[in-house]
Structure 1
Amino acid sequence: MGLTGVGKSTFISHFSDTAIVGNDLESCTSAISIHPATIDDETIYLIDTPGFDDTNRTDTDILSEIATWLERSYSANIKLAGLVYLHRIQDNRVGGSGTKNIHMFRELCGKDGLSSVVLATTMWDALEHDKAVEREAELKTKEEFWGGLVAHGCEVRRQDDGVTSATGIIRHILAQRRPVTLQIQEEIAEGMALHETAAGGVLKAELEEQQRMYEEKMALLEEQLRKVASELAGLQVAQAERDEKVREEREREQRDSEKRELGRETMISELRRELSGLKDEVASTRQKQEKTEAEYKDLTSRRGIFSWCVVM
């Protein structure tokens, strides 16, 4: 067992040519498969399980498949000799998926089943040896990693030498001669549903935590949406007020322009009236002048006649 890409199928391929080995971290084993093998003239059966943290399936689906197989084997009185839990040594820390998987694996086995478990680290050639040893020690001693498992009897081994180290791991399990019944097998035999088992409870708790976080995020997004909507409404009101002010300013300018135009036309009209009055005055003055000149001419003419008469 183990996460996707830790080398489960590769481990089995050292003893059986029926295992399909992937070349990357994408899930290769999609269903539980059984591979017969012979070690020290003894026939054994290696059970390859799909990895948790799968690229295409949920952990709940995978646990359900494993639990169903274990239930059937338990009902058929087929006991496991032990379990091999694999982990990549080059992983610089056990992340959320790894920690959850360890917790779920511990609950799947139960305290009595852990003494039949080998915790094996793989891919030692992908990391500097001293660093790999340091990480191995961290895995073995820290409670949140393998510390609790080791305290309950789990054996820690290195899968660092191909078939040689893999054979050593299998021989260690076979030497125990202690068939194991896992806690999840007993729980299901007692009539528990998968989500009621301890291992299922780990996933259930995680799903509930994810649901809680999702709801919190949704609440936060809804609050942000309300704030944005409120701000948008405020901006719309402000824009409407600005538009109203602009409209009023334009109307005032229009009125002022009309007043100015009316004043200009009134002034022109008054000037025209004044000009017309001046023209009338000029015309009247000319008429008076012409009349005066006519009278003067007439008077002059009469005076000439008068003078002539006097001379005569």
Structure 2
Amino acid sequence: MRLELSSPSISVMGLTGVGKSQVTLFLCDSVGHSWRACTTEIRTSDEEILGIIVDWLTKAKKAKVSTILYLHRMSDIRMSQPAMKNLQLFRSMCGKQAMPNVAIVTTMWSKIVKEDGIIREEELKQEVWHDMVDNGCKIERFEDTRESAWSIVLNLMKNPGASLLIQDEMTGDIQGPVIETTAGRCIAETAEPVLESLLKKIRKRFQWLL
């Protein structure tokens, strides 16, 4: 995940194929190079994402995040295990204090019957996203337009910037190692042998934080 150090920052995250490129194109096309929206491909390796976050933290220090969009495609009938795991990691990195700056953006509405999507969206709000919503996270619908993308972003930008939980845990008063952060423990609790190997690579790469 690459977060911009300039202000305001817009981070677009989500599984492969959820529409990050389209959202980013609309945002960047509107503002040229003064503001940047950065996409993150959340794949099967959560540890690589955590490593990139740590890399950003070494540069950003106490920089605030203004807007984080986590995209979810409504054409997915079920929440897969990788999707649930990545959402859990995302939540553990952000923490409660950053949730007012987060929006879960639902995409691919044009590929489903809208009535079915509305029912599915409500189920997700109640069964999967409820704790994030309770802490201030917004649920927004991307309607495949520039206006829709910017409406979502500008709604979030009404809130002041916030630091991520992992940022506070590593560079704040606590200043703990990455493997002892909430996100690090989240990975370790569900880690398979191959993931443990990747964690070792993170430890080696960022020894000064360990």
Give TM-score, length-normalised by structure 2. Answer: 0.78
The equivalent residue for 2:184 is 200
Q: How far off is 1:78 after superposition?
A: 3.0
The structure-2 alpha-carbon separation of the partners of 1:70 and 1:9, relative to structure 1 and needing over 3 Å to count, comes to farther
Give the residue type in structure 2 aligned to 1:72: K
SS in 1 for 2:36: strand
Deviation at residue 162 of structure 1 after TM alignment: 2.0
Q: Does residue 61 of structure 1 match 2:27?
A: no
The 2-side partners of 1:48 and 1:67 are apart by 17
Q: Is the 8 A contact 1:100 1:202 kept in 2?
A: no
Which residue is equivalent to 1:38? 31
Q: Which residue of 1 aligns with 2:137?
A: 154
Task: Tell whether the 8 Å contact from 2:28 to 2:36 is kept in structure 1 after alignment.
Answer: no
Amino acid at match of 1:180: A
Aligned to 1:310: none
Q: Distance in 1 between matches of 2:184 and 2:22?
A: 28
Bigger strand share:
2
Alpha-carbon distance in 1 for matches of 2:58, 2:108: 32
Secondary structure of the 1:50 match is strand
Provide the rounded CA distance (Å) in 2 between the counterparts of 1:70 and 1:162: 32
Structure 1 outlier segments of 4+, above 3 Å = none
Inter-CA distance 78–191: structure 2 relative to 1 (3 Å threshold): closer
**Aligned mate of 1:133, from 114, 118, 122:** 118
- Which of 19, 43, 49 aligns to 1:7? It is 19
Offset at residue 15 of structure 1 (A): 2.3
Within a 5 Å distance, the mapping from 1:1-312 to structure 2 comes to 1-16=13-28, 38=31, 43-53=34-44, 58-73=45-60, 75=61, 77-142=62-127, 145-176=128-159, 178-189=160-171, 190-207=174-191, 210-211=192-193
Larger relative contact order, structure 1 or 2 (CA cutoff 8 Å, min sep 6): 2
Q: Name whichever structure is richer in helix by fraction.
A: 1
1:115–1:155 CA contact under 8 A, matched in 2: yes
| Structure showing greater Rg | 1
In structure 2, the CA distance between the partners of 1:87 and 1:149, relative to structure 1 (3 Å rule), is: same
CA contact (8 A) 1:49 1:66 kept: no
What is aligned with 1:223?
A: none
Q: Does the 8 A contact of 1:82 with 1:180 survive in 2?
A: no
Q: Return 5+ residue gaps in structure 2 as ranges.
A: 1-12, 194-210
Shift of 1:124: 0.7
- Aligned to 1:49, the other structure's residue is in SS state strand
| Aligned-partner Cα distance in 2 for 1:63–1:52 | 12
- Paired with 1:70 and 1:45, the residues of 2 have a C-alpha distance of 18
Residues of 2 paired with 1:71 and 1:138: CA distance? Answer: 39
Contact 1:120-1:157 at 8 Å conserved across structures: yes
Q: Distance in 1 between matches of 2:20 and 2:183?
A: 21
1:152-190 deviation digits (Å, cap 9, x = unpaired): 1111000123212111111111222x1110001111214
How many residues are matched? 179
**Quick one: which amino acid aligns to residue 99 of structure 2?**
L
Using the alignment, how far apart are the partners of 1:109 and 1:96 within structure 2?
20
Q: Which runs of 5+ in 1 are unaligned?
A: 18-36, 212-312
Q: Conserved in 1, the CA contact under 8 Å of 2:75 and 2:112?
A: yes
Give me the whole-angstrom Cα distance separating, in 2, the residues matched to 1:196 and 1:52.
22
AA partner of residue 16 (structure 1): C
